[in-house]
Amino acid sequence: MNPTLRRVLHQLRAAWMLLAVCVILAIASPVFATSANLLNVALATSVTALLAAGQTFVIILAEIDLSVGAILGFSAAITAMVLRHHSTITGIVVGLAVGAAAGLVNGLLVTKTRMPSFIATLATLSILSGLALQLTQGNPVSVTDYNFQNIGQARIAGIPTPVWIMIVVFVIFGILLARTRFGRYAYATGDNAEAAKLSGISVDRVKILAFVISGALAALAGFIVTARLSTAEPTAGTGLELEAIAAVIIGGTSLAGGRGDLLGTIVGALILGVIDNGMNLLNVNPFLQDVVKGVVILFAVLLDRNADVIRGWIRRKPPAPSATDGSNVPALVSS
């Protein structure tokens, strides 16, 4: 099958899944389809979507970044501390620099020490979580900077600012992934790193840049969480890395690398956000909500891994009549 057509089919699969979930919830709860509720879904999804956007770059390279939640909390804590004595711009720049630096460390560990990304980012997750708790002594850091609070609380044309940030990020980084040389190198590296290296691609540089993007977008997600709450919680990102990875997988990005896109990722993040919102509207037991999301993830991976088999079942033709079938035996004419 043509690679472009295959990619479109993957995107449509996630989109149809989102549409199906929305239709079911709209029937089950009249509140779901209201504009106010849909904006709440988009707002709640924005943080996971930003984390998932960065994670997409990493997973396309057949790597993984478990530290994005810790980067979110660590960069948010440092940003809040800087904002106490400096301007909004300074706080934002420092926060983004901290996130990018954490991603750079991850990239160097993976490329220069040949450490598996799972182990490297698991270690940095623990380190950054501990540093955030040490810096804050486990206490939230309040933010009183009005301009910074607007990042999470203001509205532009009636739409929350975090939603606009999410849209802009997906447009810019979607173009970076789909239309630039770096994007082509990322797909080639994820598909076959050795072949990419032999063709002259700097595989290490591509991987390092992907981890830097992941770290910077995690810091940006931290800005939204902090601005919405007017408080930086050192543990704010705990567990969000798993939500981000789930969104990427549901969106059709392959853990084996070489396939995926940000359009599928944002659809995957919206699916998780819609499910969370719908279960809250329907008063589903909180203990069962994770069970439902786990089933959705398993279903998405099942479709991804067995798409060819499922298509074969659908297209399977009925068996041709056998030669011994009486209907095919010519009639004997008596003389």
* Domain assignment of residue 203, yes or no: yes
* Domain assignment of residue 26, yes or no: no
Q: What DSSP line would sit under 217-277, residue for residue?
A: HHHHHHHHHHHHHTEE-TTTTTTHHHHHHHHHHHTT--TTSS---HHHHHHHHHHHHHHHH
Q: What is the pLDDT along the chain (335 residues), one digit of tens a residue?
A: 555 555 555 556 778 888 888 999 999 988 999 999 999 999 999 999 999 999 999 999 999 999 999 999 999 999 999 999 999 999 999 999 999 999 999 999 999 999 999 999 999 999 999 999 999 998 999 999 999 999 999 999 999 999 999 999 999 999 999 999 999 999 999 999 999 999 999 999 999 999 999 999 999 999 999 999 999 999 998 989 999 999 998 888 888 888 889 999 999 999 999 999 999 998 888 888 888 888 877 877 777 666 556 556 666 655 555 555 555 545 444 44
CA distances to 316, 319, 320, 321, 331 from 325, in Å: 21, 12, 10, 7, 13
* Domain assignment of residue 272, yes or no: no
* Domain assignment of residue 72, yes or no: yes
Tokens encoding 332: 């004997």
* Domain assignment of residue 331, yes or no: no
CB count in 10 Å sphere of residue 168: 10
* Domain assignment of residue 114, yes or no: yes
What is the per-residue pLDDT for 301? 72
Range of the domain at 105: 46-265
Report the domain count for the chain.
1
Long-range contacts of 35-40 (CB under 8 A, 24+ apart): 37/277, 37/281, 39/159, 39/160, 39/163, 40/277
* Domain assignment of residue 300, yes or no: no
What is the per-residue pLDDT for 13? 73
What is the per-residue pLDDT for 16? 83
Element (H, E) at 95: helix 88-112
Closest CA to 244 of 68, 43, 40: 68
Closest CA to 295 of 21, 7, 13, 9: 21
Query: DSSP 3-state assignment of 47?
Result: helix
Intra-chain end-to-end CA distance of the chain, in Å: 57
* Domain assignment of residue 4, yes or no: no
Closest CA to 64 of 76, 72, 54: 54
